[in-house]
Amino acid sequence: MRYLHTMVRVTDLDKSLHFYCDLLGLKEVRRFSSAKGRYTLVFLCAPADEELAKERNAPLIELTYNWDREVYTGGRSFGHLAYRVDNIYELCERLMRGGVVINRPPRDGHMAFVRSPDNISIELLQEGDHLPPAEPWASMPNTGSW
């Protein structure tokens, strides 16, 4: 058995790609559209997984964009996606500059949570040791839920 991907449905493909690629830093490795099925699939990976993703098609996140509008509701059975990052403070700063709310700031220099444009919870974990506490993160309150 081998892990392949996690699929999340998105309502605005351009907005989602901006979030996942431009702000979060994931890489698009392949895309497939079906006019008959009226959908587009976009497969993304973390930069450190790019070679493996191209070679073995895993591990990936699949964004599914259905061309016909739907309203998606999420249950509590799906928790979150998680990524290890090189510098959690720099990534959170880039996300904030891009208009993303930091729901759980990295006060401890180790963990933060944000949400995608389609309300998917994403956990960010610092690679290696925790970074020393720093402002504005150390005193930033939680916003919303994650």
Instruction: For residues 109-136, give the mean pLDDT.
Output: 95
pLDDT digits (tens, 9 = 90+) for 4-59: 899 999 999 999 999 999 999 999 999 999 999 999 999 999 999 999 998 988 88
Based on the fold, state whether residues 145 and 85 are members of the same structural domain: yes
Joined tokens for residue 71: 């309203």
Q: Residue 77: is its pLDDT beyond 60?
A: no
Buried b (16+ CB within 10 A) or exposed e, 123-146: bbebeeeebeeeeebeebeeeeeb
Q: In this structure, what CATH number is given to the domain that contains residue 45?
A: 3.10.180.10
What pLDDT score was predicted for residue 78? 74
CA distances from 43 to 20, 48, 55, 62 (A): 11, 15, 13, 5
Q: Residue 112: is its pLDDT beyond 60?
A: yes
| pLDDT confidence tier of residue 75, bands split at 50, 70 and 90 | low
Based on the fold, state whether residues 113 and 52 are members of the same structural domain: no
- Predicted TM-score (pTM) of the model is 0.87
Residue 9: domain span: 5-66
What pLDDT score was predicted for residue 69? 87
What pLDDT score was predicted for residue 74? 67
Catalytic hit among 50, 62, 93, 123: 123
Whether the ω angle into residue 47 lies within 30 degrees of 0, i.e. cis, is: no
Active site residue 123: yes
In a domain, 20, yes or no: yes
Phi, psi of 13 (to 5 degrees): -65, -45
